[in-house]
Chains A and B, each alone.
Chain A
Amino acid sequence: MPVNSTHYLFLSLLLFSIGIMGALMRRNAIIILMCIELMLNATNLLLVAFSKIYADADAQLFVFFIMVVAAAEVAVGLAIIVMMYRKVHSVDINILNRLKH
């Protein structure tokens, strides 16, 4: 069976679901940020696939902008994690429930 758009939909959905599972399962804040990157990449893959199918360059530029935003997000997110580690000496997200009290 030749590869068609449905295969890319399934692959992208699978990667996205793995990212969601990881973000819900782990307690390490860095791993959760990595799972978010995984979800962004799954979306990028689907955008490129549909760009190829419909021969349209706009989707590939959206992938480019998603990469830009992801890079900025990672820079700020890791800065926040480093600052948090300096305060509480842990990256465990279960410690970060101070707003609850």
Chain B
Amino acid sequence: MAIYDILFWVLSAIAVGCALGVILSRNPVNSVMFLIITFFAISGHYVLMNAQFLAIVNVIVYAGAIMVLFLFVIMLMNLNADVEPQKGQLVQLAGVISGGVFFLVILAAIKSAKPELMDKTSTNIGLISDLGKVLFTKYVLPFEISSVLFLSAMIGAVVIGKKEETKPLTHNGEEE
């Protein structure tokens, strides 16, 4: 099963490298592109683990819908020039140190975890028919509630993003 290992390492390198590109690139458009590559690498991991439904959903929802939304907003605001003011060196260093400390703490916690071998026998739990059966029997209530969540999020986004026709005065008569 050497091909599995090779693909794992290649996809992991792509995912981590592009994740670093997301946080290090100065141009927000480049960040979005790096994040899309990261999501594709994670989808590759899903295919590797035979979770094909999630791989497709990941590509469609994340790389397709969400990142296009990000790209639209960035281009709407004309942020594709690198005009973003940077945080001070000290604050950036503090961010890296806090993230690194978090990494070390969790690393120390999971270092002693017993390694479970990946189940090499081909199971078809990740296929769409099996997941659908579980989704529409055991998890049918959360599924319906998530549709309500989507509806409320959609209404919320429309209400928040709507342009105000007349600028209403605040209570103490103060215009922004």
The interface of chain A, by Cβ under 8 A from chain B, is: 1-7, 9-11, 13-15, 17-22, 24-28, 30-31, 33-35, 37-38, 41, 44-45, 48-49, 51-58, 60-61, 63-65, 67-76, 78-83, 85-87, 91-92, 94
Question: How many A-B contacts are there with CB distance less than 8 Å?
Answer: 230
Q: How far is the CB of B164 from chain A (nearest CB, A)?
A: 9
Q: How far is the CB of B168 from chain A (nearest CB, A)?
A: 13
If A17-B100, A87-B176 touch, whether A41 touches B39 (CB-CB below 8 Å) is: yes
Taking a contact as CB atoms under 8 Å apart, the answer to whether B149 and A3 are in contact is no
Total interface residues in chain B, CB < 8 Å = 83
In the complex, residue of chain B having the shortest beta-carbon distance to the beta carbon of A26: B23
A sample of 13 more A-B contacts (CB under 8 A), given A60-B126, A83-B160, is A18-B16, A18-B19, A25-B23, A26-B87, A38-B22, A38-B38, A44-B42, A48-B54, A60-B125, A69-B146, A75-B153, A80-B160, A82-B77
Give Cα A38 to B96, complex, Å: 16
Provide a sorted-by-A list of 10 A–B residue pairs whose CB atoms are within 8 angstroms.
A2-B118, A11-B12, A15-B15, A24-B99, A28-B79, A34-B32, A48-B45, A49-B49, A72-B149, A75-B157
Secondary structure of the A contact surface, majority rule:
helix
Taking a contact as CB atoms under 8 Å apart, the answer to whether A14 and B16 are in contact is yes
Taking a contact as CB atoms under 8 Å apart, the answer to whether A31 and B134 are in contact is no
Taking a contact as CB atoms under 8 Å apart, the answer to whether B156 and A79 are in contact is yes
Taking a contact as CB atoms under 8 Å apart, the answer to whether B146 and A30 are in contact is no
